[in-house]
Structure formats: structure tokens, C-alpha cells
Structure 1
Amino acid sequence: MKLEDYKYIYFLGIGGIGMSAIARWFNTKGFPVWGYDRTETPLTQALVAEGITIHYDDSVNHIPQQVLTGKKETLIILTPAIPKEHAEWNYLQEQGYTIKKRAEVLGLITRSAATTVAVAGTHGKTTTSSMVAHLLNQAEVNCSAFLGGISVNLNSNLLLAANSTTPETVVVEADEYDRSFLHLYPNIAILTSTDADHLDIYGDKEELIKTFQDFISQIKPNGFLILNEQVDRRVTAKIDPSVTILWYSFEGQNIHASDVTISGRKFGFFLNSTLGNLPDLELVVPGHHNVENMIAAVSAAQLLKVDAAKLVEGVKTYKGVHRRFEYIVDKKEVIYIDDYAHHPSEINAFMRSLKALYPEKKLKVIFQPHLFTRTRDFADDFAESLSQADELVLLEIYPAREKPIPGVTAQMILDKVTSPKKVINTKEEVLASLENNTDLQILATVGAGDIDTLVKPIKLILEDKKHVAEA
């Protein structure tokens, strides 16, 4: 299959962060693009503004005429989140259309690249891949990137190479969900973490590790694996012997940071690396975990021969990803941060960084669990990480692609949390309580569901000075 064999592109689930990047890519390449999604969001609105037609009702009647009459010329791109009973999907299957998952199409796009950098891991993928893309873009490497979040520097989840006639490096987020990353064959791979996750797909961690082994086995001969020291060492069992492994960590014996300083939000550090030491690095996106992610990203850029001075500047100018430790309100009276963390390890890293930045401040966290299976499998771990909050508000579970599981609710987590103040609220109750709260110091919204719909109304409340205490 070749992408140039198709004339029309139709997406089922176009509004997802990964799907929308590919939709943008096809749109900029001049393909007519249409799509379905369940709900209208700021991301789908942005796609519409870019010229893509989107509908929100699952109905065959909404499939465009060009797609209906041009079956052989149409490529259908599907997200794994589409339910089996989806009417449009079933119709397109019955009619014999070519239907490919997002990951398969991403594999086809990267096949023609001179170099592919793939960032994998159960958490840290989006931030690390956006860091790699930024460093290469700042250094004027001819680079495209497909990201799992909206880069603040790019204001997009897609970076397009500036020159179509010279060799291109492609940076991709290699998603382990549904084994999607097995369609990728990178020259350089980064593996940030192997914590148990997606057990609804894998069943247990052993199967997850086997799939990471398969992914690593697909690194091209004479390629590189940049591997976090904390990952399960079994992941390298099937690696090609010609592939070089580079180990990294925040602090350790291999590639690591030293002389770490915190000044306001900024993290300063010295990078100790066999690829070349870099002094006086300054990262304005806070968090020990972000320093660690940047170590991996810089290592990938060093392998691609990016000049040291450009790397120092690139680290300094990296602004982060929306919903990753994103400051929404930063006042003397109150600080409000929004974060996408939805796995216990991510939440723990986020909370530890908040505590390091604001050790004397009271921390209130609003968290929305994501998926019934993840809540069921990690209730104890969620409770432990969230108990670092002085006050915890839980929303009910965001189901995403799942049906409810009897007995699995936010109460499972709340019962195990040891924070002195804890409660389950609706979104409406959250906003009402914040209207009347005059002693907020640090507030965080955390989660991967639709908790982001609270960000703007919370910001409006907190920016009204009469709702915050005088300093």
C-alpha cells in the first residue's frame, strides 16, 4: 500500500490528539479530508478552521459523496476508540473500503523518512517527543513531528519539514496502546518507562513487557536505544546486537543531571553524557521528571549531530506542552496548574515536583480518574500518589472507550486516600466550592478525561481577585 494510491481521506475519530495530527498532515499535502468525531472540541474546531469538514452524528448519511462514489480512491483511517457498533464503521467495512488504523498510517508516513525518532513508554512520551521536535526544529534540522499533545512552541501537534527535497527526520510518539507502535521501525528509539498500564489490552505486565521487546527488536540495524534506567531490563531481550543502548536517568551512573538548582520555576542542571557534557542548561518547564525527559531528548539530538550551542539554546527556549504542568493562573495569591497525568506514576512525579517547588504551600488537587479498568487495577497506587495533596477532590470516572464495571467508581480511590480533606464532587460542585473558597494557595486539575473543560471557568473564578485571599 502506498499513500499516493489514494485521493480521498476519511477519519473515524478525527478529534483525537494523534488522529488530528495525521489529518493535518494529509490536509497540508492537498488531500481532501473529512471526518467523524463524537463531540465538538477546541481541537475539532481548529481542524474545521483549517478547512477540514467534520460531523458529530454517527450516520452513513454524513459520509461525503466523494467517499461514497470513490471507494477505490478512499483511505479510511480509524482510531481504536471507535466502538464496534459504530454505524459508519460497519457500513464501510461491509462495502469493502480500505480501513487502516492510525498507527498503520503513521508507519507508512515514516517509511520514506531518512531518520525516524520514536519515543515510547507508558508515560512521558508526549513531553519527550515534543522536546526532541523542538530541539531539532530550533537547530534547523529538516524535521517533521507527530505529537500526542499541543506543543506550546508550535501551537500544534504537527510539525512539517521545511524542505521536501532534502532528507527528512521524523519524530513520532510511539503508542503502546493496542500495540500501535509495532508499525514503526525507528533509527533511534527512546523508552521512558514500562510501568504496568493498559491491562485491558495486555492482561498483565508480562505481556506488556513482551510487546515492548517486540518494539525494540524493530529498531533498525546500527540504530540506537535511549533507555531510562528505571525500565524493566527485560525489554532488551530481542534487541538487534548492532543497536547501541544508551542508559539515562535524572541521577545515576550513566547519562544524568548534576548540580541541579531550582530558581522560581526554572530548573538548572549540568548534563553528564558520553555523547558530550553540556553545562548551564536551563529548563523553564518545571519538574524533576521534565529534566529527565529533556536528558533523553538532548541525547537523541546529540546522536543527530546537533551543535552543542544550539542544544543549550533549545533547552532554554522549550515552553512545554499544553496540559503538561501548564500554569493557568500564576498570582501572588494563588497558583493554578493543569496537568494531563492519569497514571499513578505520572501523578506521583507531578505531585513531587509541586512539593519541591512550593514546599510551604497548601495543595488542593482535583482529579478525574480515566477508565474503569485503570481505576480497578491501580486504585491503591492512585490513592497513595494522591494522598500527597492537603485537600483532594475526585470527579467520577471518565469512561472514554469503556462500559461501566459494577462496583468500580471514584469511591474506590477515595476510601484509600489519607489526605485530611477529601470529597467526591460533580463539576458543578467543584466550581461552586471554588467560588466561595478564599484560602487557596496551590490548585491543580489533573486527569486525561474531560476535566479540561473546567480549566477556563476555574481560571475566570481565580482571576477575579475578590475570590482569592489578599497576600
Structure 2
Amino acid sequence: MTAEKHTSFFFLGIGGIGMSALARYVMAKGHKVFGYDKAPSVLTDRLISEGASITYSTHLDPAILTLIDARNTLVVWTPAISEENPWKRYFDQGSFACIKRATFLARVTQDTQCLAVAGTHGKTTTSSILAHILLEAKCSVTAFLGGIAQNYQSNFVSQGTNMTVVEADEFDRSFLQLHPDLACITSMDPDHLDIYPTPESFSQAFNAFADLVPKGQLFVQEDLPLAGVKVGFSDQAAVRAINIGVDQGAYRFDVVTPQGAAQALSFGMPGRHNLSNALMAVGMAASVGVSLAQIAAGLATFTGIQRRFNVSKHGHDHILIDDYAHHPTELDALYQGVNEFYPKAANVIVFQPHLYSRTRDFGPEFAKSLAQFDRVLLLPLYPARERPIRGVDSEWLCRQIPGQKAQVVLPQQLPEMIQKAQAKVTLMVGAGDIGTMVPKIKTYLDHEA
């Protein structure tokens, strides 16, 4: 990995999942890390415990300013930080070197064999599975993950620097900064319509990313209109799963790859979308020389990612599923997994819409996807970086869901409303702060049991 001349780093938006992984990388290299985020979180608390200095105030903190020097400090920022943020203005107007997160990630990985995972959905799951397979196979690899891998309780894992596993993020066209040696594209459903005004512009960005990958080194989901090594479930896919079944809460299947075939693999994450993500990781790992036996062992010991179809059991018969889905296609995939693994169980989904623009742009699609579930509880919309859009909120979305099965609730009402639903399966779903509500719901369900 590229050596840095800087000895200290300031991360603007350090609490983000991608930024915190880069901060961990920098600290692992022995450098001092400072950062700003708008509020404390589990991620920032852990970074502080590991040695980072973090402020949550937009007022410039003299205690931090005295510790950073423009001559040896690199400022890394994420587009989630407003240009009007006082810290952003301070660094822009000063003599500090400032670069975007995507540029820094590209710099960190450019001298490695870079394995990049792209796609509207499935990036974090695929990259985490791939990283785990490589780590279990004792490869020299460092992984920057978009979620907390449960095997490692971290979004940054390193046991060498010959290879890097990264998520190639389409937001703000960030993935076009990378220099991938091997890559995959899991999906291309339009998203981020504030960045991509037309479906054509979204597809063009993915085509541009595909052009960055050396010939023969791109794996693509079999239905995508891209040239590459096809991955899926049909006989035409070069990497495919066959003889698929479900046994004791896990998929059992055989796999075919260009490097050979293997039988009786086990993978514990429910949902065909997750099995497809696993196949992507299988194809990429086999391509860099990991044996199918090692791949099978890695898949069998992979325990998942926080907030990606995390299943917990409460009492004798209540299932709680915690998931990050925030796009209609992801909700469809989530429902497929629930229907496959719990086909006869009544369910209730607690969904927190994420972003005003995404809710507006996909309102009818969200309504159709949510209507598949037995009961729908909508939390108030989580705005993240956005300002309100008039007329767009959870009540607006609720009115579009047919069947009188949906209602808007406040977080403090959830225990009562979940109890009234009388469902065996409860799903807590969204990309906002709904994940922070899950421990309370688990405690409630345990108490009720």
C-alpha cells in the first residue's frame, strides 16, 4: 500500500462506516487520527477507545486545532459533509491538503491487487464473504468493509497487504476513482437519482467502472447487460449454484466454477440474494487461486454482517430479523428470504424510509414491495444528509400501501404495536437509525417470552 508522507489525519464524517474503516487503517499504520461527526455512535466510541480524537461540535475546538498542523495533516472528507460545515470551510480556506474519501481509498489500494465489489445492492455482503474466505485461506489481504463483519466485529480486517478487498461505491461516482485488478457487479438497479438524473446515466457510470477492469477479470450477475464472467443459478452461468436446498437454517448446494466443481457447500445467510452474493465471492476467490475446499470451509464459517438479515430467536417462537434494506429491490429480496425460510409464519415489518429523494423517486415501488408483508409499521422518515421535500414523508408513503395493512408509528410505540401484530416474525428494516432501536425490541421480546 502507498506510504503516506502525512503523520496525522483528520476525517470529516469519521462516524461513517467507510470512513471509520479508513481511520482504523491509518491508526494501524501508527498515525494519529482526528475526526468530526455530528453525533456519537458505536463506531465513534470504538475509534476513541482505539486512540482517535473526535469532536461532535461544529464549533472549532481549540483543543484539537492546537494538535493539527497543515504541514503534516491530511484531511479526508466524505460528500455526506455539507460544504457549509465550519470544519469543512476551515480546512478548505486554510493550507491543509484535502481529498475525498474515494480518492484516499484509491490511493491506499493502488499498489495492491485490488478486488473491488460494485453494485446497487450486495456490496457489503459480497465483500465481507470474499474477505472472510481469503482470510481463512491465509491470504495476504486487507479488507475495507461497509458493515461490521460478525466474524471479526469490525469493518477493517488486515493480515497482509498483497490484496485489498474494497466496496466500489456508485454514490457520487466514487467507484470511478479505483484501479481494480479484479471486480464484480452484483446489480444495477437505479438509485441515487439526485446524482444520476436518468437510468441511462446510472448505467453509463457502471459501464465506465466495468471499463476500468482488465479483460476477463469482471464477474457480473447473469441478468446484467454487461460482458463478463456470468454468475447466477442458470445453466448459462459460469459460476453457478445447483441442487439448492435448505437444511437446519442454512443453504446446502453444489457449485460449478471455471476452476472446477464442489459438492455439499453450506451457507447460513437466508435469501437467494445472499446466496447470489456468496457465489460472487466464490468466483472471485477461485480466480485468485483459493481452492474450492478452502472456499467451502470459508463459506461454512461465515457468520454474517451486522444488519444484513441478522436473525435472533426470542422465547419459543418469535423471530427478529434486523436488516439494512432501503431500496424496493432490497425489500423484495428480503421478503423472498423470509418467505423461503419462514413460509407459514405471520410477519410484521417495521420500516424506516431513508432519504426524502429516494422515498419520492421510488414511492410506488416502495409501496408495492412493502405490501407483500402481512403488516407494515412505518417509522418517521430518516433524512440523513437531505433537507425536507414538501409533501414527502412516511404518511405520504403509507397512503400508497394497499390493503389497509400499514400505519405510521413513533419509536416509543413499537413494543405496543409489535405486540398487537401477533406475528411470529418481526423485521426491523432501514438504513437510518432504526438499528439503534433493535436492542430495546430484543429486550421487550425476551421479556414477553
> Could you say whether these structures have the same fold, taking a TM-score greater than 0.5 normalized by the shorter chain as the test?
yes
Q: Does 1:71 align with 2:70?
A: yes
- How far the C-alpha of 1:85 sits from its partner, in A, is 1.2
**CA distance in 1: counterparts of 2:249 and 2:91, whole angstroms:** 50
Partners of 1:177 and 1:394 in 2: CA distance = 26
The answer to which of 79-88 and 252-261 deviates more is 252-261
What is the RMSD computed on CA atoms of the aligned residues?
Answer: 1.5
**Shift in Å at residue 66 of structure 1?**
5.1
Aligned to 2:142: 144
Aligned with 2:188: secondary structure?
A: coil
CA distance in 2, matches of 1:292, 1:63: 49
Residues 1:246 and 2:214 are matched in the alignment: no
Change (3 A) 1:351 1:252: farther
Which residue number corresponds to residue 460 of structure 1?
Answer: 443
How far apart in 2 are the matches of 1:62 and 1:347? 46
Q: Could you say which residue in structure 1 is the equivalent of 2:412?
A: 428
Among candidates 158, 161, 165, match of residue 160 of structure 1: 158
Tell me how far 1:415 sits from its aligned partner.
Answer: 1.7
Alignment counterpart, residue 132 of structure 1, candidates 100, 124, 130? 130
Who is 2:169 aligned against?
Answer: 175
Q: Tell me the residue number matched to 2:5.
A: 5
Number of the residue aligned with 1:325? 309
Change (3 A) 1:218 1:387: same
AA aligned to 1:6 is H
Residue of structure 2 equivalent to 1:447:
430
SS in 1 for 2:133: helix
**Contact conserved, 1:250 with 1:257, CA < 8 A, in 2?**
yes
1:413-461 CA distances to partner (integer Å, 9 max, x unpaired)? 2122124521100111113334x54833100000000111210100000
Going from structure 1 to structure 2, the CA distance change for 1:178 and 1:334 (only over 3 Å counts) comes to same
Gaps of 5+ in 1: 237-244
| CA offset digits 1:133-179 (Å, max 9, x no partner) | 000000001110000000011110001124x6xxx110001100011
Q: Distance in 2 between matches of 1:203 and 1:438?
A: 39
Distance 1:324 1:313 in 2: 21
**CA distance in structure 1 between the partners assigned to 2:149 and 2:210 by the alignment:** 26
1:258 and 2:251 equivalent? no
Distance 2:46 2:190 in 1: 34
What secondary structure, in the 3-state scheme, does the structure 1 residue paired with 2:362 have?
helix
* 1:283 and 1:315 in contact (8 A); partners too: yes
Aligned residue among 201, 208, 211 for 2:202? 208
The 5-angstrom pairing of residues 223-372 of structure 1 reads 224-231=217-224, 233=225, 235=226, 245-254=228-237, 255-372=239-356
CA distance in 1, matches of 2:399, 2:223: 30
Q: Give the whole-Å Cα distance in 2 for the aligned partners of 1:422 and 1:216.
A: 41
Does structure 1 retain, via aligned residues, the 8 Å contact 2:25–2:156? yes
Q: What is the deviation of 1:62?
A: 4.8
Q: Which residue does the alignment assign to 2:49? A: 49
Distance 1:225 1:292 in 2: 15
Taking the aligned partners of 2:316 and 2:342, their CA distance within structure 1 comes to: 13
The alpha carbon displacement at 1:223 in A equals 5.2
> Please, which runs of 5 or more residues in structure 2 have no aligned partner?
none
Shift of 1:63: 6.5
1:8-57 Cα distance to aligned partner (Å, 9 max, x none): 10011000000000000001110010101101011111111111111110
Q: Is the 8 A contact 1:250 1:291 kept in 2?
A: no
- Residue identity opposite 2:134 in structure 1: L
- In the aligned structure 2, how far is the partner of 1:451 from the partner of 1:298? 32
Give the TM-score taking structure 1 as reference length. 0.92
8 Å contact from structure 1 (residues 396, 410) kept in 2? yes
DSSP-derived class of the 1:64 partner = helix
In structure 2, the partner of 1:199 is 193
> How much has 1:249 moved relative to structure 2?
1.3
Paired residue type of 1:366 = V
Shift of 1:371: 0.4
Q: Do structure 1's residue 412 and structure 2's residue 411 form an aligned pair?
A: no
User: Residue 3 and residue 397 in structure 1: after superposition, are their counterparts in 2 closer, same or farther (change >3 A)?
Assistant: farther
Cα separation, 2, equivalents of 1:133 and 1:440: 36
Change in CA separation of 1:358 and 1:144 when aligned onto 2, cut-off 3 Å: same
Structure 2 counterpart of 1:105, one-letter code: F
SS in 1 for 2:34: strand
The count of corresponding residues between Structure 1 and Structure 2 is: 447
Give percent identity, aligned residues only.
Answer: 38
Partner residue in 2 for 1:240:
none
Q: TM-score, normalised by structure 2?
A: 0.96
- Taking the aligned partners of 1:283 and 1:85, their CA distance within structure 2 comes to 46
How many Å separate the matches in 2 of 1:333 and 1:306?
Answer: 40
Residue of structure 1 in register with 2:108 after alignment:
109
d(CA) in 2 for partners of 1:316, 1:65: 48
| Contact 2:216/2:229 (<8 A) preserved | no
Over residues 326-368 of structure 1, what are the superposed CA-to-partner deviations in whole Å (9 max), with x where a residue is unaligned? 0133442210110000011011001111011111110100000
